[in-house]
Structure 1
Amino acid sequence: MFTKLTGGTLRPNNLRRDMDRICQAAGIRTLNIHGLRHTYASLSLRHGGPPEVVSKQLGHVSVAFTLSRYRTV
């Protein structure tokens, strides 16, 4: 969950709009939040991140699931 500076919940449409603007300014294709999650998990594992830590951060019930989903990407 993302929050505003004031602590309130950030609305999904506002988050998407901000992500679109940030990606455009960076000159990269538009990514959604799930895409960022996937990228984080894949890169973490590829660069030696402990599978147990990555799995816990993603909220998965097992390390086996995390590895089956992200290790080969």
Structure 2
Amino acid sequence: MAFEDIKAEIALLFEAMNNKPEDAHQLETMLREKLNTLKAEGMPLPDDLVRLEKQLDKTFTPRKKKR
């Protein structure tokens, strides 16, 4: 899949996440799949997508509880 096509799909998923917060976890999974596709194809992630991935990590990664 072409780089620009994947970026366009990511933009659509991100917009959907903003419009339907109740579907955020499903959309987050789909966003990560698109980012992983870019990585698997050896394409470098642009800075904006790197920031997006970090934000996804902060938002959706459960925090570990201290013991």
Shorter chain as normaliser: what TM range? 0.3 to 0.5
Q: State the TM-score, normalizing by the size of structure 1.
A: 0.36
State the structure with more CA Rg: 1
Normalized per residue, the structure richer in helix is 2
Q: State the TM-score, normalizing by the size of structure 2.
A: 0.38
